[in-house]
Structure 1
Amino acid sequence: MSAAAGEPAADVPAAELVAVTKRFGPVLANDAIDLAVAKGEIHAVVGENGAGKSTLMSVLYGLHRPDSGHVRREGRRIRLRSPADAIAHGLGMVHQRFRLFPELTVAENVVIGAEPVRRGSVDRAAARRAVEELGERYGLRADPDARVGDLPVGVRQRVEILRALYRGAEVLILDEPTAVLTPGEAARLFEVLRSVTATGASVLLVTHKLSEVLAAGDRVTVLRRGRVTGRFDTARTTADELVRAMIGRSLATAAPPRGRGAPPRGPYALEVRDLSVRDRDGVARLSGVSFGVRPGEIVGLAGVAGSGQRELLDTVTGLRALGHGDSGEVLLGGAPVPRGRDPEVAYVPEDRHGRGTAAEMSLAENLLMGDQRRIRTARFGLSRAAVRARARDLVERFSISAASVDAPISALSGGNAQKAVLARELSRRTPVVVVEEPTQGVDVGAQERIHALLAEARDRGQAVLLQSSELPELRALCDRILVMYEGRVVAEFRGEDATDARLGEAMTGAAGAVR
């Protein structure tokens, strides 16, 4: 039977990119790429950092105009001059880099641009109800009255997803949507996406997590250096086949093995003693937290977003000073941690754009931060030649993809910006290393290298405190894993005891899972 008048045929793609090419100066980001997403499917797009995934999705969402090629929507060629055009054509996008207004509430961020109106004014009560209903329906709860700037990264990601769901897009583009979600939250998200596609809507999923691709995707397109290197049905492919299409080889090994026999002994390089802290409203965020990390071990932190990890790591790194109503202490090498960043602590923050880098500065300048005194100086200050030579060395050692060390770091892909922060901090060889979400938004080849670098730091005798939402990452790398829940360390696991099931139970405060 033919399609009804005005209705597209059932086999016409919901959205299609046809021979799309996009350049940024000398960099060829997309090279004549064809990609079609069918109605009612989850179509994954994978590739190395800098492979062109985000650029391609930005073309589909109207953020970039292609140099050649075009976009089709349900078989019809469309012109996208802005995201407003994309939204008008039923396209929605959740970005890897948050695009929220920190001074506004959750509800205001979710409905902005499509506010419910009553008697000529924004209906704030209706906006709050919309957030609550969406949160309840999709398991993405967020306080509608909370100021977004006060929320942890994981909750801010939920707000991005809620905003896209609120707009009711028929083609939903998700750029690394689970990067800051717990395994339980990610599983619920994919349940949501399945219910969405069951109605005939479509999802384009950009992710580095091949387990997600194989578990949740219907089809996958692989990009490498701006070109398509493979198209697969997920039911008939393997992770190794995808990896070979992504990086041109199989992964040599799994992550470095956890531990090396007997645990290290001796004094702690980093010790937290009975630490309790309150926020500016007097609400307890940490309660009696105590643990230590010895030289030559990696200790992991697991927990649902908002369980106190942010306050703990800010205090450990010296970014947050103990104030009135706080108690306990943090010791580095037996001495109290000083106020402000301690040069003896390397720190890789989760928010690589806001905390980890200075967007307006060059890659070379960002790689220099915190290490200026060790660089050979010219007569009137830093030697620019020495700074650039050091940057080129780190770019090569850490496989950072960049047009030039003089380019602004904001021009790098998210994964390459992450590698730049890791390169800067791990090259300092400090006694203590604090790392948050080291492989968030990083491709599988880079993940392998980052895991090896953290294992090397441990083997050199550095004390590594690692916070990650990736339970397999924690289990592979850590000698011990501490689980946080509601501001307390509620469980500690070693070796085979650290199963995903036991960690998950402790992360949600399940009875019997805590100490």
Structure 2
Amino acid sequence: MDYVIEMLHIRKEFPGVVANDDITIQLRKGEIHALLGENGAGKSTLMNVLFGLYQPEQGEIRVKGKEVNITNPNVANDLGIGMVHQHFMLVETFTVTQNIILGNEPTKHGRVNIKEAEEEVQKLSDKYGLRVDATAKISDISVGMQQRAEILKTLYRGAEVLIFDEPTAVLTPQEITELMEIFKTLIAEGKSIILITHKLKEIMQICDRCTVIRKGKGIGTVNVADTNVKELASLMVGRDISFQVDKQPAKPKQTVLEINDLVVKDSRKIDRLKGLDLSVRAGEIVGIAGVDGNGQSELIETITGLRKANTGKILLNNKDITNLSPRKVTESGIGHIPQDRHKYGLVLDYSIGENIVLQTYYKRPFSKYKILNYKQIFSKAEQLIAEYDVRTPSVYTKARALSGGNQQKAIIAREIDRSPDLLIAAQPTRGLDVGAIEFIHRKLIEERDKGKAILLISFELDEILDVSDRIAVIYDGKIVADIKPEETNEQHLGLLMAGSGHEKVGESS
């Protein structure tokens, strides 16, 4: 069998940890090959070795049968290897074209020929059905379009092998469907793809083979057609996984969060929330279902004090918290798992221990007379790291050194441990493996059963249907339906999210 890429017996070490221990993966031409493993299993590290960002301590890499030494990403590009990272490598103030040609600019008479570059980028975009505006500024386009710009960047440099690191983690269901079609187009053009993902359904839907790694070691490679979701999950985590959320019926009590006639405008003075009404009671999980861009972000940011309301009221336990500062909102009894963990959840250059007390560092026992007590801080961090299985070399490791999934688990540990009256969980399982998702869902239900109120915002309809006690559908800045999970299904919810099907609310589907 001829392979376009072979990574044989790769070992990669960091201080205090072996990230990859004797791993082999072989990619055939024209296949989509999944790389599956738990958070922190070493998947991204392995692909960063292939892309030249890290150098392995042992093992060899072959491209089309020939051994190569990939010392940096430029060498990888020259060998036809491109990588779309989980956290995009884009300059927000540049246009799509400026980002794509960065470091590889076409010149004419010593000057960058931006017009020629834009034409070339637009041609590539049209050829692969990416539908990207080559002249648009990165800060003005959606996350899905930014990802397409990253794909174009690799294609512009002549990539024959494309590595995708968790490409669907930040996409809406519609964008995921479109990305799968793009994958098919790339394969039809003779490209080969390595796909890092936690989403087992996607592997079953699109991949030919799957290599599984667990705690840095290779478990094996399987043909996707010969396996199923349960077997893949078991291979990944080393135990059987339950895909059913085990919970008793909710016993809601008093109203904890009440939002009345909330209007929020964006920077261009356009209404993003248009008289929104919503309530969440103690002892229930209310899921917000909606297509991205219908006001979810504005709703979260306004409740948590990150954005000002124009009119309307937000009441927490009958107290008006409208337009309070984020700290005052937190101290009033709200916890917040943010949808963007890098922007709002972590200080990436602080240690993971420091990040775990970000909401409480100024209180005893973590500080006294404004002096931090690091012994208490790191003791607390060690307790939560163990409880939530945050994979990190130590509490002193910088947050940016952890995998995305382990960063997420640290945030969740911090917020749930405070046991706030209202927990806002925005995309809480984004980038998490099935074992971690099972654990987080159990934690959310435990909080509910303690009598806490939980507002769950997720693009995963499975999660909304399985975890919620009540589903509020948001469309065009308003709640357009309030429905119980047992009264609906994915298809019906999809209609409601698209602004139709309201007449069916309350009917059994």
TM-score normalised according to structure 1 size: 0.90
- Counterparts of 1:289 and 1:132 in 2: how far apart (Å)? 40
Q: Structure 1 pair 408/376, CA: closer, same or farther in 2 (3 Å)?
A: closer
Structure 2 residue 467 is matched with structure 1 residue 477: yes
Aligned twin of 2:84: 94
Aligned twin of 1:365: 354
Aligned twin of 1:264: 252
Structure 2 residue 166 is matched with structure 1 residue 205: no
- Counterparts of 1:111 and 1:492 in 2: how far apart (Å)? 48
Q: Structure 1 pair 350/300, CA: closer, same or farther in 2 (3 Å)?
A: same
Aligned-pair distance for 1:171? 0.6
**Mean CA deviation greater in 55-64 or 381-390:** 381-390
User: Which secondary structure state, in structure 2, belongs to the residue aligned with residue 14 of structure 1?
Assistant: strand
AA paired with 2:353?
A
- Counterparts of 1:155 and 1:486 in 2: how far apart (Å)? 21
User: Which secondary structure state, in structure 1, belongs to the residue aligned with residue 386 of structure 2?
Assistant: helix
Aligned-pair distance for 1:502? 1.9
Any conservation in 2 of the 1:299–1:481 contact (CA below 8 Å)? yes
- Counterparts of 1:125 and 1:219 in 2: how far apart (Å)? 41
User: Which secondary structure state, in structure 1, belongs to the residue aligned with residue 326 of structure 2?
Assistant: coil
Aligned-pair distance for 1:133? 6.3
Aligned twin of 2:336: 347
**Corresponding residue to 1:336 among 311, 315, 320:** 320
Q: Structure 1 pair 237/415, CA: closer, same or farther in 2 (3 Å)?
A: same
Aligned-pair distance for 1:332? 1.7
Aligned-pair distance for 1:441? 1.1
Aligned twin of 1:4: none
AA paired with 1:491?
A
Aligned-pair distance for 1:265? 4.7
Aligned twin of 1:188: 178
Structure 2 residue 251 is matched with structure 1 residue 281: no
**Mean CA deviation greater in 490-499 or 144-153:** 144-153
AA paired with 2:308?
A
Aligned-pair distance for 1:361? 1.0
Q: Indicate the RMSD between aligned Cα atoms, in angstroms.
A: 2.5
* 1:269-322 Cα distance to aligned partner (Å, 9 max, x none): 112222222222222222222111111111112223222221111101111123
- Counterparts of 2:70 and 2:24 in 1: how far apart (Å)? 17
Aligned twin of 1:3: none
Give 1:294-309 correspondences, 5 Å limit: 294-309=281-296
* 1:342-392 Cα distance to aligned partner (Å, 9 max, x none): 122111112212221111111111111111214254677232221111111
Q: Structure 1 pair 311/99, CA: closer, same or farther in 2 (3 Å)?
A: same
Q: Structure 1 pair 412/196, CA: closer, same or farther in 2 (3 Å)?
A: same
- Counterparts of 1:13 and 1:41 in 2: how far apart (Å)? 10
**Corresponding residue to 2:371 among 371, 378, 381:** 381
Aligned twin of 1:5: none
Structure 2 unmatched ranges of 5 or more: none
Any conservation in 1 of the 2:346–2:355 contact (CA below 8 Å)? yes
Aligned twin of 2:389: 399
**Mean CA deviation greater in 53-62 or 399-408:** 399-408
AA paired with 1:359?
L
Q: Structure 1 pair 295/55, CA: closer, same or farther in 2 (3 Å)?
A: same
Any conservation in 2 of the 1:256–1:451 contact (CA below 8 Å)? no
Any conservation in 2 of the 1:276–1:327 contact (CA below 8 Å)? yes
Paired residues in the alignment total 499
Aligned-pair distance for 1:44? 0.2
Q: Structure 1 pair 134/450, CA: closer, same or farther in 2 (3 Å)?
A: farther
**Mean CA deviation greater in 229-238 or 131-140:** 131-140
**Mean CA deviation greater in 399-408 or 379-388:** 379-388
Aligned-pair distance for 1:465? 1.1
Any conservation in 2 of the 1:299–1:466 contact (CA below 8 Å)? yes
Aligned-pair distance for 1:419? 0.3
Give 1:12-161 correspondences, 5 Å limit: 12-115=2-105, 121-124=111-114, 141=131, 144=134, 146-149=136-139, 153-161=143-151
- Counterparts of 1:101 and 1:437 in 2: how far apart (Å)? 25
Aligned-pair distance for 1:155? 4.8
AA paired with 2:28?
A
**Corresponding residue to 1:499 among 485, 489, 495:** 489
Aligned twin of 1:7: none
User: Which secondary structure state, in structure 1, belongs to the residue aligned with residue 153 of structure 2?
Assistant: helix
**Mean CA deviation greater in 477-486 or 212-221:** 477-486
Any conservation in 1 of the 2:95–2:136 contact (CA below 8 Å)? yes
- Counterparts of 2:392 and 2:24 in 1: how far apart (Å)? 25
* 1:194-221 Cα distance to aligned partner (Å, 9 max, x none): 2211232111000001111111110000
Aligned-pair distance for 1:467? 1.3
Aligned twin of 2:450: 460
- Counterparts of 2:96 and 2:127 in 1: how far apart (Å)? 17
AA paired with 1:400?
V
AA paired with 2:429?
T
- Counterparts of 2:304 and 2:476 in 1: how far apart (Å)? 21
The percent identity for this pair of structures is 42
User: Which secondary structure state, in structure 1, belongs to the residue aligned with residue 3 of structure 2?
Assistant: coil
Structure 1 unmatched ranges of 5 or more: 1-10
